[in-house]
Structure formats: C-alpha cells, structure tokens
Structure 1
Amino acid sequence: MKHYHIAVIAYPHSLLSAVHGFAETFELANNACESARLNIRISTHILYEADLLRTTTKQHYHAILLPPSVNKASYSEKSVSINDFLVRHHQQGAMLCSACAGAFFLAYTGLTDKRVMTTHWGLESLFKERFPQQAVDTSKILINQGDIISAGGMMSWIDLAMELVQTLTNANILRQLGKTLVIDTGKREQRYYQQFQPNFDHGDTAILTVQRHLQGHFAEQQRAENMAALANLTPRTFLRRFAKCTGLNPNEYLQRIRIQTACNALEQTTLPFESIALQVGYEDAGSCRKAFQKVMGLTPSAFRQRFVSPSH
C-alpha cells in the first residue's frame, strides 16, 4: 500500500475549520480509495509550533500545508521555527502548500523566488509590500508548480485539499469525493469573486485628488493630461506617481472602477447589460463586454448566472 503523510501546521490564529477540514477531507478520500480498492492511504499530522521544534527529520512528509488565518499578526512576521521546518522538509522532497494567508509563510522562506504565487485578493497589497520581488497573481484560485502549491481565498483550502487528493490518487477518486461533499470539482478562478478596492492610503494627496475625482466621474471621458492638471503635476510625473500609488496606469484604473460598477449592477439590478455598459461609461456594449471578460474571467451573463439567485 502507498502511504502518504501530510503535515498541517496549526500556527497561532490559523483557521481551525481548515486545519481539521484538511484531515477530514483526506479521511473521506481514504474511504473513497477503499471503496475503489485503490491501495492508497493519506495520513494527516496536525502540528503546532512547539511540535516543529520536537519533530525530527526522520519523519518524511509528502506535503506540508499552511492554512488560512483571520489574524494579521499571525503571518505579518517571519516565524523562525516554521521557516526552518519548511526549508528542511522541502529539501527532503516535501511539497509546500499554502491557502490564503499561508502564502506569507512560503514567501518568507525564499523558496518561492522566481515562482508565481497566489493569495487572497484582499491581501495582495500587503503581500506585495512585504515581498516586492515576489510574483503574485490573485486572479487564480490555485497555482500548482509541483513542489510549491498556493491557493487564494479564505475557503481555498478546499481547492487545495482537492488538488492534493487528485495528485496523490486519481481523477476518479476526486470525482467521487466531490459527490460525497456535494462540491463542484471543476476549475474556477479567484477573479470571479474579486472586488476592486482602490488604495487610498498611500499619502500622496495629489494622486488622491485624482482618485476621488474618478470615483465620482468614472462614466465620463477622462484624459491623462486633464488628470495631471487636476493633480497640478506634469503628465510624466503624474503617470509615474499614479502607477506607484495604485499599481495601475490611469486607463487601467478607470477600467477597473467601471467593471466593478458593472458587477454591482449585474448583481443588484435586473437591467440588461447593454444599459449597464452605457451607464458605466462605454459607448457600446461590445467593448464593455470584452473588457468585462478580460478583467473578471467570465462573460457578464455567466457572472450574473453565478452570483444572482433565480428569484431576482
């Protein structure tokens, strides 16, 4: 029988529903393997920080999992014990896996340099601030690079668990597990759920003036030279400072405001998309639909179908 050992690090303030959910998901996978007469077993080891200091290198883990957290203090600073544990076992062949804020622990190790990671879209700014050289794509729910796997949202630990089940067993076991749990095992992306939340806390009052203006006039045509004049800056200086403060150029920023407003309208009203497109500043629905799909990864109709109940 093939026996896999998986460690779940229950660091302080980690999401206990995920910590124990991992163990329960893998136990259900074991039941599916037994029913299918597949000689594979997955054992889950829940480890606390004190355990990491006592755990010897003799125990081999096929994968080490870092669950989400709802407390910024738990991942805002490097933990020496967790860091050393991750590096040591990665050198022994363990896959390192994170969900949501767990990505911070992986990034602290330096093992993810030159890799692309994902984390919760709401943590993107803090993550980039803490790890400016680390590539991150929060449009993705999960990025699997073989020895490093990162997952995005708070509940993405489920996606991570299912990914590991498929990696360690096979697609048939995954489908059976999905039926047992009554969850969709199809691929999805985090950007389906992402909301555009502009950064207003950067301290540049000139750029903040432009941002406030765009919030109230996004449906109107906006020219870079006019925005620069509003900020009392030269166009070149304005573009440089705007990108530094927001992470986007003015056209991208304006597009994100418009698309977020369109998302809100699709969820909260029964207006046809053609009307919504005009309201948010597009001259034709086709251009808006193309931009919407590029940003959200879904067509407007698919977005409304996914997020609006049939009663609306």
Structure 2
Amino acid sequence: MSKHLTILVPDTQAGPNTISCIIGAYHIFSGANNYRREHGQEPVFDIQLAGVATQSQFIKGMLQIMPQCNVADIKGTDLIIIPAVAPDFNGLAQENEPLVKFMTQQYKQGAELACMCTGAYLLASTGLLDQKSCSLHWNTANHFKGLFPKVRVQTEKLITDENGIYTNGGGYSFLNLILYLVEKFYDRATAVYCSKIFQIDIDRHSQSDFVIFNGQKSHDDPVVQQAQQYIESCYYEKISFEALSRKYAVGRRNFDRRFIKATGNTPLEYLQRVKIEFAKKALESTRKTISEVMYEVGYADMKAFREIFRKITGLSPLEYKSKYNKERSIF
C-alpha cells in the first residue's frame, strides 16, 4: 500500500524559490515512482499538492499553482514537504495558519516533516523545531535565530534528521534533501538513479564552503560595532582582545559577553572568520600561493591555518583553491 506525500503550497509569504521547491519535489518523487514501476515494484508515494486556496500566485503573479486539494481534506499523510518561503519572514501570515495547524496535527499522528531552506520559518512557527537541530540558508541564520531562539541552528550542515523532522540548507540544495528522502523512503538504487537522471550530486553533507561571511551587524551595541570595524580593518595584525577591550573602556569578560550576545561568535572566532573570508577571496581570484595567502591574512603556521580553514569551510585551502579558482595555480 502506497504512502501519502503532501507537498504544501503556501498562499502567501512565498519567495522566488518557493515554486522551485514545489516543482522540484514533485518532479523527483514522481521520477522515483516511475523508476519503481519500470522495475516491477509499486510506487512508494501517492503525491498531492495541498494548500489553503484554489490557486496560489508566485513571483508577483507571473506564475500560478493550483493545489490539488485543501489541507483540510487530508485526514492522514506520511510525509509533508514544506517549501522555501520569503526570507523577510517576520511572523506567520493569517493565510498560512491552516498549514501550520495541519503540520502540527499530522506530526502528532505520525507524519514526518521535511522543510527546504527558509521553509524552516513555517516549520518553526509550529514549535516543533524547539530544542531541535535546523539547517537553513546561512544568509538568513541570524534573522531566524532572533525569531526562533529555541531552535538549534546549524548552518554548517546541509541536512538535519531528528525525530522525523528534516531540514536543509539554502538555495537549490533542497535537491540534496529530496535525494536523501528518496533513499530513506525508497532505497539506495532509486536515489542513485534520480541523482543521475536529474544530475544532482549525491551524498553531499556540508554547505560550509558556500558561506560568505559578512559579519553580524544587525545589532545595536556600539562598542561591539566599533570592535567589529577594527577587527575587519586590522585582521592581518596580531590583535590583543585584552587591549581591544581596554580601548573601548570595557572589562574583558564583559567585552566577550557583549560580543557573543551581539554576533553569536567570540571575538577570536569572529577574527578567524574574517581572516578566512579574506583568504577565500584571495584563493578564488588570484594566483597567489597558499603560503602567500596565509601570511597576508596574519597566520604564520601552515598547520594552524589549514585546521582553521577546514573548520570554517569544510575544505582544505588547496581543495578550496582547486574548486573555485579557474587558474588552479597551487604552489
């Protein structure tokens, strides 16, 4: 007997990626079902697009989707796909409240939930993500944390899987989540087939190397703002945080506390991220050697530089250069 898959169609708060997630999920799960049929097996899912309106508009009315049913008509489902929504989400819109109630009720009845990118906002509105891990687009993480402080945001992970709730990183990485779900609900062979047919890299686990660090500036602590400016302008120097806290007439412990509260990073972590961001840009766009880049951003120990670079990006400096620099000049 087939399981039931519900792909939600939000009636409002939709972003440009919302329709991509909906169509992508429908296309790949349909492809997985067809692969099963071709091999004499029953499809795993009956797939339905469900919403709260007879039609939903996207991209300023340029595109429309007509859900196949209303969520109120679905009595039971096994897996719910929650597409990305607009990243300027500041609260649940009234039109989407039925979706949140539907997710909450179905999860209690045993359904599993999978949200794509900023779909985490809708899922978090249920409260079901509280005290659970969640990945989403790195560019919206700080905003999301402000709205849902009880959720454990892990932007370094591409996919999280916890208690029947799945989340994934940003952009089109939702395709990797779909492959993950195909393998989980179908089998490895079907997932590999979908990977090849839709040309999606399988077994990708991290989005760390895609992160662009711009610093967390959406706070109102003037001391921390000044410290951030100083770090970003003098990142290549040897910075004493003891001296920096004295510079702004703040005790060291209080300085660290305020810095962590404002940015989510310790001063040292912030400095490391700034250094590595400058190193990444140099590795992407110049023919400088890894040693030259290391010295330019203020490191003198190659082992330490490699360890911190890998911790932040998930790749070694050499791997990063080989991936993102067309010249690929190494040493």
Please report the TM-score for the alignment, with normalisation by the length of structure 2: 0.88
Alpha-carbon deviations, 1:70-111, whole Å to 9, x = none?
A: 4524x6326421211101111121111101111111112112
What do the CA deviations read for 1:14-50 (whole angstroms, capped 9, x no partner)? Answer: 5112111111111111122122323234232112223
What is the match of residue 198 of structure 1? 215
How far off its partner does 1:310 sit?
A: 5.7
**What displacement does 1:57 show?**
4.8
Contact map agreement 2:52 2:99 (CA 8 A) in 1: yes
| 1:69 paired to 2:72 | no
Quote the RMSD (CA, aligned, Å). Answer: 1.9
Q: Write out the 4+ residue segments of structure 1 that deviate beyond 4 Å after TM superposition.
A: 51-54
Q: Which amino acid in the other structure matches residue 21 of structure 1?
A: G
Q: Cα distance, 1:177 vs. partner? A: 1.2
Letter in 2 for 1:3: S
One of 214, 223, 237 as aligned partner of 2:254: 237
Q: Which runs of 5+ in 1 are unaligned?
A: none
**Alignment size in residue pairs:** 309
Counterpart in the other structure of 1:88: 105
Aligned partner letter, 1:76: G
Render the CA deviation track for 1:201-225: whole Å, top value 9, x for unaligned.
3111122111111111001011111
**Deviation of the 1:268 alpha carbon:** 0.9
Q: Does 1:26 align with 2:25?
A: no
Confirm or deny: 8 A CA contact 2:85 2:119 kept in the other structure: yes
Q: Deviations over 1:131-185 (max 9, x none)?
A: 1121110101111125100011121221121111111110011111111112211
* Structure 2 counterpart of 1:267: 284
* 1:119 partnered with 2:136: yes
Aligned to 1:295: 312
8 Å Cα contact 2:117/2:136 also seen in 1: yes
**What aligned pairs does 1:1-312 form with structure 2 within 5 A after superposition?**
2-11=1-10, 12=12, 13-14=14-15, 15-50=18-53, 55-58=72-75, 60-73=76-89, 76-77=91-92, 79-309=96-326
Checking the alignment, whether the CA contact within 8 Å between 1:210 and 1:227 is kept in structure 2 is yes
Q: Which amino acid aligns with 2:266?
A: N
User: In 1, are the aligned partners of 2:124 and 2:130 still within 8 Å (CA)?
Assistant: yes
CA distance, structure 2, for counterparts of residue 253 and residue 150 of structure 1: 26
SS at match of 1:40: coil
Gaps of 5+ in 2: 55-68
Q: Post-superposition shift, 1:308? A: 2.9
User: 1:77 is matched by which residue type in structure 2?
Assistant: L
- Equivalent position amino acid for 1:72 in 2: D
**Identical amino acids, percent of aligned pairs:** 26
Letter in 1 for 2:30: E
